[in-house]
Amino acid sequence: MDQFDGMLFGNGLTLNLIGQISAHIPSNKRYLLSVDEFMKKLMCDGLSPREEGRIFSFFYEKKDIANAKYMNKIKDDLLEYYDNHDSNIEYHLGAASFLPKKCGYDYDAVKSLFPFLYNIWHEILIEYLNHLKLDNKIHEFNKSVQKYFCSASKYWTTNFDEFSDLLCPQHLHGRFVRGIKRASELKLSDKNESELYFKCIWGWNGIGKLDLINELKAYSDYFDFKFFFDNDFLVNRMLVYGISFQSAGYMAQLATFKKEYEKPSMCGVIDEHILIRIAGLQNLKQLKEVTFAYYDDREYEHYKELVSLYKINNVNYVSSRDLHFSI
């Protein structure tokens, strides 16, 4: 396989790494590897006293009865949400966006909580992996990725985590705050009276994310937005790995009225702003060839539909199993 000179990757790369690392984690601590399992432990008082204390102090400076009640409210909100949902928060909140009062959980509370909880979960996980001295495993995994790329390659990621920061990727949607102690550290600024700008970008579809990126261009010291605006962008062969580009949650509701919405549609794909940019770069002759790494046959067919919809050219497909990323 010829070497690539650009890589755009998402959560699939982190899941690959974590799946391999899990064998080195004691069975009673493997819940730390999954944000879903971590949340379930939190809402059922199953975390260690240290982990529970970290989360409490993350939200509240003073441990008193009033704050204990607020913490219990957080757990109740999570319990209600996790009754029928999981951490695929962009999809589920998108599905409930038309009728948030009838979604079966406190929509506004969950929407505001998840950015904070994701970050503190990541922080606790990183600390534990460092405690186990698994840095060398993570390092070897990233070195195995680099074998498929030339030395001058460029990397971009939709991930907030730092597991592949050895590759020096640009974080297109921001990143988790490392060493975070208080929830306020994730806050970028006030958006309005009821909403915040976070240091991580969330959205129910790609157009909404692109609007947010344009709103946050002034914070260029924190965000890596060059992928979307760099006039000097030049890549010959780009690998896209571990980004599902799933349909927005509200599309399933629209499909009950029009069957055509069962397939990917414009303004109905999470992270479609990236696909639009890829097609635009090709039109500008700044990107020649794109290879999508697919996980299974279903994802392979989904990618083919996306390529047709967004008019991406010079496309190849490779099974992710043929890319031997390993610890």
pLDDT tens sequence across 8-62: 999 999 999 999 999 999 999 999 999 999 999 999 999 999 999 999 999 999 9
pLDDT at 155: 98
DSSP class of 174: B
Cβ atoms 80, 106 nearer than 8 A: yes
pLDDT at 220: 76
Does the model's pTM come out above 0.85? Answer: yes
> Token pair 């261009």 is at which residue?
217
Angle at 225 between CA 163 and CA 107, to 5 degrees: 75
The packing angle between helices 135-146 and 11-21, to 10°, is 130
> Token pair 């948030």 is at which residue?
100
Separation CA 73–CA 76 (nearest Å):
5
Cβ atoms 275, 306 nearer than 8 A: yes
pLDDT at 238: 98
- Which tokens go with 184? 């306020």
Separation CA 164–CA 327 (nearest Å):
12
Separation CA 263–CA 251 (nearest Å):
9
Burial of 131 (0-12, 13-18, 19+ CB in 10 A): exposed
pLDDT at 193: 80
pLDDT at 168: 96
Reference 288, options 312, 317, 319, 318; nearest CA is: 312
Task: Tell me phi and psi for residue 64, to 5 degrees.
Answer: -140, 180
pLDDT at 17: 98
Q: What is the mean pLDDT of each run of 10 residues along the chain (327 residues)?
A: 93 98 97 97 95 96 95 96 94 92 93 95 96 96 98 96 96 95 93 87 93 90 91 97 96 89 92 98 98 98 98 98 97
pLDDT at 99: 87
Identity of the amino acid at 298 = R
